[in-house]
Every structure is written in structure tokens, then in C-alpha cells.
């Protein structure tokens, strides 16, 4: 069976302060973006593919760059908490244990949405089909104009893809990764402002990530000590990560998330 049934109700704040990297006149120009708001109902169920063993873990490396450069990893995050989110785990016998499935093979999954914040009252929603060219390929470096999946403020480019728990590309991976570059140091705000990643199913339900597998922060404008990375799994579209900048380094900022229906409960 697929991971346990989870139902939840996301209650978003009535308004959010303008936040994120860059300045107001440096917003993205992508025609695919759009504001995300309103209630989201989370329901996960149905039969899934035969499980395989691939327990979650954590790994991250140390990055360089101008200003302070820090890396951090968060594990064991409780997926049953978060502002306005209620969960009912029901009577599922396979809660816990190494029951994992490739994200792109989840029954009924049609697309994946990355909610990235660059100013404004809400994050922008970037939606990609399950087998589209964005998620099934890791872009070569350097990310730049004409070589990105998501663009943000000036000098901000992101790549999204299926991965292992360490953020390495893996077509049949149990995790999702967003990694990228941001070319503005202080006094600009830090980049990679991820609110959530959502798995969009054909019955119009959405599942958000349930734990942070690994991440990388860099530069002098990252939120310390961990880029506020838990904001990417709190079920609240009005909060986001602040992972820093890549000035003076060839490394990427990164957030890698696990999902209850693919990688299982936090290990």
C-alpha cells in the first residue's frame, strides 16, 4: 500500500508582509508564475507501486563564498505540526519503516509546484509536469539567463529535479530538490526563498513536504543558523526559507525535501 492516509487543512494568513530577496523593482519576469492563495486540502491515499528500501538520511557539504559561509542539515522534523495544519493519520499499518517510492511514480500524481517568494504579498507558484524536462534533468552549471527552471530577482536562477536525500540528481529519486544561484550580497536580502513544494494529484489534492532531508546555505545574507529551512515544511505559504547568496563561489544554494508518500516518515 502507498503511505498512510493524511488529511489536512491549510489556513493561510489574511495578508503577508512583502519579503524575500532583491528589491521590489527586481521582480521575476517569468510568464509561468502566478500568486498562490486560498485554502488547500491535503489528501493522500490509493494503492502504490511495490515498495523498495531507501531509508532517509542527511548529508551536506561546506560551502565557500564572500561573507560568512555556512551549511546545515535538519532531520527528524515533526510532520504533524505547523500553523493552521491538522493531520489525521488514520489506521494505516505501514506507518514507519523503510517504505519508499519514486516521486514521479506515485499513483495519480500529475504535477509538482514550487512556491518561491520574491517580494509581494504571496509566493509565486511554478508548476511542472511529472515527466517534463524541468524535473527529469539537472541543468549544467552555470545557471543563467536561458539556463534555468525558475527565475527570481536580478541574478537569481533555480534548478528543480528529482533527487536522493543529499540533493544529487536521481530520476527515480524519493526526494525533490531546488538548487540555485543568487548574485546579490548584503544589503540585499538572501535568496532561495522557498515557501513549500506541493505534489499535485489528479483529484485536485496537494501534499506538502514532511521533512527536510538536507540543505546548503551560503553567503552573508542567509538566515542563521539554518536559513529558516523548516519554513519549507510548515504548511504555511506565508513563511519561507532564506538560504543566502552565491557571490564568489561556484556552489549552489539548496533545499531537498522528503514527502510522506514517497520517502516516508522522517528517519
Amino acid 98: pLDDT? 55
* pLDDT at residue 135 tops 70: yes
For CA atoms 31, 253, 160, 99, give the dihedral sign: negative
Q: In which residue are the cell numbers 500553523 written?
A: 83
CA distance 242 to 52: 34
pTM of the model: 0.67
- Domain ranges within the chain, ordered by starting residue: 1-14+36-267
Query: Which tens digits make up the pLDDT trace of 232-264?
Result: 999 999 999 999 999 999 999 999 999 999 999
Q: In which residue are the cell numbers 529519486 written?
A: 173
* pLDDT at residue 157 tops 90: yes
Amino acid 100: pLDDT? 83
Compute how many other C-beta atoms are within 10 angstroms of the C-beta atom of residue 25: 8
* pLDDT at residue 116 tops 80: yes
CA distance 25 to 185: 17
Query: Which tens digits make up the pLDDT trace of 194-218?
Result: 999 999 999 999 999 999 999 999 9
* pLDDT at residue 170 tops 80: yes
Helix (H, G, I), strand (E, B) or coil at 100: strand
Amino acid 190: pLDDT? 97
Q: Which residues contact 4 (CB under 8 A, 6 or more apart)?
A: 44, 89, 90, 92, 94, 95, 260
From the list 222, 212, 203, 153, the residue with the least C-alpha distance to 178 is: 212
* pLDDT at residue 73 tops 90: no
From the list 208, 136, 144, 206, the residue with the least C-alpha distance to 180 is: 144
Helix (H, G, I), strand (E, B) or coil at 110: strand
* pLDDT at residue 146 tops 50: yes
Note the Cα 97 to chain centre separation in Å: 23
Tell me the average pLDDT of the chain: 76
Amino acid 156: pLDDT? 97
* pLDDT at residue 45 tops 70: no
* pLDDT at residue 164 tops 60: yes
From the list 149, 181, 141, 257, the residue with the least C-alpha distance to 21 is: 181
Alpha helices in 5-72 (DSSP H): none
Amino acid at each position: 500500500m502507498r503511505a498512510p492516509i493524511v488529511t489536512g487543512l491549510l489556513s493561510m494568513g489574511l495578508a503577508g508582509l512583502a519579503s524575500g530577496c532583491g528589491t521590489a523593482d527586481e521582480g521575476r519576469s517569468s510568464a509561468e508564475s502566478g500568486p498562490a492563495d486560498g485554502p488547500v486540502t491535503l489528501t493522500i491515499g490509493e494503492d502504490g507501486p511495490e515498495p523498495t528500501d531507501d531509508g532517509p538520511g542527511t548529508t551536506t557539504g561546506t560551502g565557500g563564498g564572500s561573507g560568512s559561509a555556512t551549511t546545515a542539515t535538519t532531520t527528524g522534523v515533526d510532520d504533524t505540526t505547523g500553523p493552521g495544519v491538522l493531520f489525521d493519520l488514520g489506521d494505516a499499518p505501514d506507518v514507519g519503516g523503510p517504505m519508499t517510492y519514486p516521486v514521479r511514480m506515485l499513483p495519480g500524481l500529475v504535477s509538482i509546484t514550487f512556491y518561491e517568494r520574491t517580494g509581494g504579498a504571496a509566493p509565486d507558484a511554478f508548476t511542472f509536469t511529472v515527466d517534463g524536462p524541468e524535473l527529469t534533468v539537472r541543468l549544467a552549471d552555470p545557471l543563467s539567463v536561458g539556463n534555468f527552471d525558475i527565475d527570481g530577482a536580478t541574478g537569481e536562477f533555480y534548478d528543480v529535479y528529482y533527487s536522493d536525500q543529499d540533493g544529487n540528481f536521481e530520476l527515480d529519486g524519493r526526494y525533490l530538490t531546488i538548487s540555485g544561484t543568487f548574485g546579490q550580497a548584503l544589503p540585499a536580502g538572501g535568496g532561495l526563498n522557498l515557501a513549500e513544494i506541493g505534489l499535485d494529484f489528479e483529484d485536485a489534492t496537494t501534499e506538502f513536504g514532511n521533512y527536510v532531508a538536507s540543505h546548503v546555505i551560503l553567503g552573508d545574507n542567509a538566515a542563521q543558523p539554518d536559513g529558516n529551512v523548516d519554513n519549507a515544511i510548515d504548511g504555511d505559504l506565508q513563511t519561507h526559507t532564506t538560504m543566502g547568496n552565491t557571490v564568489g563561489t561556484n556552489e549552489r544554494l539548496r533545499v531537498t525535501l522528503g514527502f510522506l508518500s514517497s520517502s516516508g516518515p522522517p528517519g
